[in-house]
Amino acid sequence: MNCPIWFRLFAVALFGLNVFQLDLSALVWPTPNPAFAQGRSIESFIQATVSKVPQSGLYGLVRNQGQRFHEGMDLFGLRFDEKGEALDPIYAVLPGRVAYINNSEDKSGYGCYIVLMHRSGGLMFYSLYAHLQSMDPSIQLGMELAEGAIVGKMGRTAGGYSIPKERAHLHFEIGLRYTQQFQYWYDRQSFPSKNWHGVWNGLNLFGIDPLDFYRSVQAGNCVDFSDYLKSLPIVLRMHVSYAGLPDFLRDNPSFILDKELDLLSIAGWELSFARFGVPIKWRALKKSELDTRAKNSPTIIQAYPEIAERFLVEPALFEIDEGRFKPSRFLKTKLEKLFTPRP
């Protein structure tokens, strides 16, 4: 069963309802709540934390006085059973393949969650639906789903903590995956538990602000997800020593600026990081082009603090030390995963 047509976001008015077209596919809001499409405020669809501050359900450093990063948006329900449990169906936002299903709520902070993989414009990106009460029984790994297909039911499942029924919600993410070699990186950390989710562990996924993306589509500022990412403002450029082609580029070749690549001559990469820490531009570097400082550690070539200051709710990508720009811990961890070596 698919969602009603009025949940789709097209750029025309249909039967008095405002909807918006995303290229050849319809971008669907992931819950039945029509508030966003109707232009209403975030209080009409965002689930706040115990703080009751609506912004705490948005993307960014929005929790614990700006100390805790939330990598998605939380959407509350409209329908409840006699016990007060949420009943809202959850919809696939775009056509995609079922890449991962987790039915063990105690093995992830996401609780029960499903990941869909989408391909468009030389990109491979994901959408994630978490805290589900249940999956649609017809869903199977590897299935191709249409936009608007029901993937499950809103809930409050979570591993390691509890969500009260009055705050049941969908945690929704959309973004990119770091590497197929995630287990190699994970094994070299000091995590107390095993990696139960393979390459679909949340630590191997990095989301962008879903609401900003939807608003951009609604305003007609982008035609697909690739177009949206490439429109984001650049925050810094840097050089990284790495011979060969990282997994991230194998999955997302449209970020490569070079028209042709000689893999044997690549000594490193020049990356341009945009908002949300998305590396949207990659240029292969020969040994003679690589900044000498980058041979020892990743080096920022140019930073734009005036742009970064516009987005203080997002984790910082750089810090200033004795007048020099240096990668933040947040960026260093990103680089570790982006450049995880292939065994």
pTM, entire model: 0.91
Every domain of the chain and the residues it spans: 5-215, 232-338
Give pLDDT, residue 19.
31
Give pLDDT, residue 6.
37
Burial 137-158 (b: 16+ CB within 10 A, else e): eebeeeeebebbbbbbbbbbbb
Neighbours of 215 (CB within 10 A): 12
Give pLDDT, residue 42.
97
Give pLDDT, residue 66.
77
CA of residue 148 relative to chain centroid, distance? 19
Give pLDDT, residue 313.
86
Q: How far apart are CA 330 and CA 324, in angstroms?
A: 17
Give pLDDT, residue 18.
32
DSSP string, 282-293: EEEE-TTTS-GG
Given the candidates 2.70.70.10, 1.10.357.10, 3.40.50.11720, 3.90.79.10, the CATH classification of the domain at 5-215 is: 2.70.70.10
DSSP string, 66-118: TTEEE-SEEEE-S-B-TTS-B--EEE-SSSEEEEEEE--GGG-TT-SEEEEEE
Per residue of the chain (343 residues), give pLDDT as tens.
555 433 444 322 222 323 333 353 479 999 999 999 999 999 999 999 999 999 999 999 998 877 889 999 999 999 999 999 999 999 999 999 999 999 999 999 999 999 999 998 889 999 999 999 999 999 999 999 999 999 999 999 999 999 999 999 999 999 999 999 999 999 999 999 999 999 999 999 999 999 999 999 999 898 889 999 999 999 999 999 999 999 999 999 999 999 898 999 999 999 999 999 999 999 999 999 999 999 999 999 999 999 999 988 899 999 999 889 999 999 999 999 999 988 7
